[in-house]
A = this chain, B = another copy of it.
Amino acid sequence: MQSFRSLVQQFEERIIALDLFPQQPANLYDPCRYLLSLGGKRVRPAVCLMANELFTDIEECTWHAALAIELFHNFTLIHDDIMDKAPLRRGFETIHSKYGLTAGILGGDAMSIYAYQHLSFVEVNFKKVLEVFNTTAIQVCDGQQIDMDFEQRNDVSSEEYIDMISLKTSVLLAASMKIGALIADASADNCDKLYEFGKNLGIAFQLQDDYLDAFGKTSKLGKQQGGDIIANKKTYLYIQALQAANETQRNEIAAWVLSNNYEEKVPAMLRLFQSTDAHIKCRNAVELYSHKAFEKLKEINVPEDKKGQLYLLAKELLNREQ
């Protein structure tokens, strides 16, 4: 079984060797090349390959499927960044900031079609793979819309929030694993369990992300502590705090949301998260979904020693301090 790091390295080498996009029209494909060169963790393609390797040796077409997933993911990032008016991605200029709105829209569109083109290399269970891919792609769009709808609402429940992050981020991680398993012609039961493993892992990871943005160590975070608080993002912490708050706390939260005094706003909101026990509820939720994830991984019907790399990766993703 190959490690996450080894697979990511091979994946990066293939991206370079494959020369994914044509040279012309340069105004269309230079931005696509730029974004893919910025890296990213490549978790989705890697888990597709790892899930595949639970059942078989990794074959050429699985690499194409992994690439399709990464291309699709990058396509959604490009368009999300436009909708979120984000100037930076992975510490570098976003496509629409660097090359303009047209490059962002059309570059994303082209990348999504290239995703389908690489997916079509799949030979085993192709129609099932395509169905998972399409269903997931639609869920990701739905999740992005629901996330934007939340910005206009102040009554989002924690269940609604978890449904949203599940659609927006977890189902693609889940689908990556299921597609890897389908290409290995794994049993329906194993495919479904890998899907559930990925989905719960994704939810736990996102909730942990919410927690670390508020309570992570700045030195390890690689970004500004309290960024979500400053942006008034309705994270799990915020939703839980608002739900448990008494009238005084509720008024305080409402006042801080309107404040641009970030130096006082961040520590004040952190105190409110703590006094409402939102931080404990968030840790508990991370624990709950992590537990669900590991239970599913345990249930997958392959020799236990084959699962070692997936256990390692999941633990690394969930115990990170950044």
Contacts and interface: CB of A to CB of B under 8 A. Distances in A.
Interface residues of A, number: 34
A145 interface: yes
Contact of A142 (B28, B130, B134): B28
A113 B113 CA distance: 10
A188 interface: no
B28 A141 contact: yes
Contacts of A91: none
Given A149-B25, A149-B27, A101 B120 contact: no
B120 A127 contact: yes
A274 interface: no
**A28, A108, A149: most-surrounded residue (chain B CB, <10 A):** A28
A2 interface: no
Contacts of A157: none
A146 interface: yes
A112 interface: yes
Interface string A93-117: 0000000011001101110111011
A31 to B, nearest CB: 10
Contacts of A112: 109, 112-113
A79 interface: yes
A252 interface: no
A182 interface: no
A44 B101 CA distance: 29
A102 B130 contact: no
B127 A102 contact: no
Interface of A: 24-25, 27-28, 79, 82-83, 101-102, 105-106, 108-110, 112-114, 116-117, 120, 126-127, 130-131, 134, 137-138, 141-142, 144-146, 148-149
Given A25-B145, A110-B141, A112-B112, 19 more contacts: A25-B146, A27-B148, A28-B141, A28-B142, A28-B145, A79-B106, A82-B101, A82-B105, A83-B105, A108-B109, A109-B112, A109-B141, A110-B142, A113-B137, A113-B138, A113-B141, A116-B130, A117-B134, A120-B131
Per CB-CB distance, the 3 closest pairs between chain A and chain B, nearest first, are: A28-B145, A25-B145, A110-B141
